[in-house]
Amino acid sequence: MGAYSAPGLQAAQADSGGAESARSAWTTVSRLMAWFIFVGGLTGAVLGIVEIRVLVTVAGLMLACTAGLVLLKLRADAHGSA
């Protein structure tokens, strides 16, 4: 009966809480970076349009689209669907 005692269960729950905290910190950092890249890409696209530079516009749109897809994937993972 000692193997199934409450202190062992509490230790297991404490370990999973630490892993959950590390996972949520990683998710927060990745979301923040994706948002910065998304906004940077949109800014680059707007500046490229204003200065009539095709390469800058295309690069900005590529960054914004890729970051947007990453944000959608992170959102889907947060809701538990793949």
Q: What is the pLDDT of residues 9-48, one digit of tens each?
A: 555 555 556 667 777 888 899 999 999 999 999 999 999 9
Query: pTM of the full predicted structure?
Result: 0.70
Greater pLDDT, 5 or 56: 56
Q: Give, in degrees to the nearest 5, the angle at Cα 74 between 69 and 80.
A: 125
CA 11 to chain centre: 29
Rg of the chain on CA atoms, in Å: 21
